[in-house]
Amino acid sequence: MTGALTSDTEIRTVRTVRAVRTVRAGRPGPGPVRCSVGDLLLADLPVSVVLFYDRPLDADALATGLARALARLPEFAGRLRTAADGDLYIDTDDSGVPFTVADAPHTLTEAFDRMALPASGLVDHVRATDARREPLPLLTVRLNRLTDGACALGISWHHAVGDMHTFALLLRTWSACTEGIEPPALAPTADRELQLDAHLPAEDSGVPSLRLPERAEAAELRRTVAAAGLANRTAQIWFAPAEAQRLRAALATEAGRPLSVNDALCAHLMHVLRELDGSQDQEQTLTMPVNLRRPLGLPDGALGNLLGEIRLPWRPGTTPARYAAELRTAVEEFTGKHLSTRSNLNFLRRIGRDRIADCVPAGFDPARRTLTLSSWCRLGLHDLPLTGRRPIAFSPAATLQLPWSSWLVEGPGGEGLLYTVVLPTRLAAKLRGAHDLLHAYREPSDPLPAVGPRKLL
């Protein structure tokens, strides 16, 4: 059997912790992996999620399946290393993944209510910044056994390892390894930069998606990050399936062209936030990350942060229907007008690759209220069993609570859409009182989700 579990701290009682073990594949990977510029730009960030189950998961079977999955995706069990020339590498040395089993003093509903809190206790967030300097884990797993027999599986990974698509590949592989089915095809590489470069067109939009802030702005951004936990709050909104379709149909009719639910919902949410913030007479930008695998013809199994982005301004006088149509056009014209990967490389050549740590993504601009909306839909996570159990809900878990960051996922049971947004405290309070504006397309017959947080808007 491929995979090994080492019990270097097999039973360690710390309050509710039952056991901590290090999960390893049992053999190192094929060698170091050179990270791309996209990985480097996100190398100070953790990504954390929680999957909820209405029945217990078998911790031993879960750990055994993870060990087998790590044999196929050794990047998650490795450690980061920065080379003398500034390049970042993942050493696939099988250092392992800490796997914690704990008794959490919450029911399933109470755990739902806590998942958006930075100190929820449901996830062991990876120490992303420190992991660039110390041999720290790039993936953590925490199985929380709840008081009513349900459980919450908290998972955190280092953003340099990969985007949400990469995590979904890990979860699909993990599921396959616990269920005894064929795992997904992977397309690993020793050099992510070269793999991506082979699929890039010679020219792109010419506008880089990273920038080098002036000293004053850089200081202000550091203050924003430092104060994030006190200055911002997280809200979660659920849109029923029929409600989302009514919204799409109404805006498509007004726009006079087909729209996706994502187009309509992005426009609606921007409209609501602008109304509540009193910023209708100001320009405001939406940044929407785009998975590059399909538009560039990369394999579905390619790992890393293969992300581009659409940055679309909302100008005063724009209606939600017009904005949704502009967003649909931007999606259709993405490769020719919004792709910026080669422009990023050219930008770094001009300023010096060693200054990448001083750069920020163009979409991170809280002073101008730039909203980033990452869609994690259509990954099929609700359909992936672990030790025979499918999750009944899935959600991002708060980490830094950076303002104007948001995520869209399928709702509980894969029904409807769950929107999680981090906003300045005052605006978040206004959003909580804006039910009629948020749900202008909801009808009394629309059912609420069977499970979920009590504080859903």
Q: How many CB atoms lie within 10 A of CB 276?
A: 19
Q: What is the pLDDT of residue 7?
A: 37
218: part of which helix (H) or strand (E)?
Answer: helix 215-226
Position 162: which residue type?
G
What is the per-residue burial (b if ≥16 Cβ within 10 Å, else e) of 315-354? Answer: eeebebbbbbbbbbebbeebbeebbbbbbbbebbeeeeee
Long-range contacts of 85-88 (CB under 8 A, 24+ apart): 85/353, 86/353, 86/354, 86/356, 87/34, 87/35, 88/34, 88/35, 88/39, 88/40, 88/43, 88/132, 88/160
Gap between the Cα atoms of 431 and 247, Å rounded: 19
Secondary structure of residue 231 in the 3-state scheme: helix
Gap between the Cα atoms of 406 and 417, Å rounded: 13
Report angle CA 230, 376, 201 to the nearest 5 degrees. Answer: 110
Where helices occur in 256-389 by DSSP H, the ranges are 261-277, 293-296, 320-332, 334-337, 341-351
Domain architecture of the chain: domains with CATH? 4-195 (3.30.559.10), 212-377+401-438 (3.30.559.10)
Asked if 2 and 67 touch (Cβ cutoff 8 Å), the reply is yes
Integer-rounded Cα radius of gyration of the chain: 22
Report angle CA 82, 87, 92 to the nearest 5 degrees. Answer: 60
Asked if 345 and 204 touch (Cβ cutoff 8 Å), the reply is no
Q: How many CB atoms lie within 10 A of CB 197?
A: 13
Dig out the tokens for 221 from the structure. 């951004």
CA distance to 64, 97, 154, 382, 386, per residue, from 178 (Å): 8, 17, 18, 16, 6
Bridge partners, residue 152, by sequence: 52, 144
Which residue is it, tokens 């056009």? Answer: 329
pLDDT tens track, the chain, 457 positions: 344 444 333 333 334 777 899 999 999 999 999 999 999 989 989 999 999 999 999 999 999 999 999 999 999 999 999 998 888 999 999 999 999 999 999 999 999 888 888 788 999 999 999 999 999 999 999 999 999 999 999 999 999 999 999 999 999 999 999 999 999 999 999 999 999 999 999 999 999 999 999 999 999 999 999 999 899 999 999 999 999 999 999 999 999 999 999 999 999 999 999 999 998 899 999 999 999 999 999 999 999 999 999 999 999 999 999 999 999 999 999 999 999 999 999 999 899 888 888 999 988 999 999 999 999 999 999 999 999 999 999 999 988 889 999 999 999 989 999 999 999 999 999 999 999 999 999 999 998 887 777 677 7
179: part of which helix (H) or strand (E)?
Answer: helix 164-179
What torsion, rounded to 10 degrees, do the Cα atoms 115, 121, 124, 128 define? 70
What torsion, rounded to 10 degrees, do the Cα atoms 173, 30, 128, 58 define? 30
- The one-character DSSP state at 370 is P
Give the predicted TM-score (pTM) of the model. 0.94
Asked if 298 and 306 touch (Cβ cutoff 8 Å), the reply is yes
Strands (E), 173-274: 210-211, 232-239
Where helices occur in 18-104 by DSSP H, the ranges are 37-41, 59-72
What is the secondary structure of 95-121 as a DSSP string? --EEEEEEE-S--HHHHHHHTTSTT-S
Q: What is the pLDDT of residue 85?
A: 81
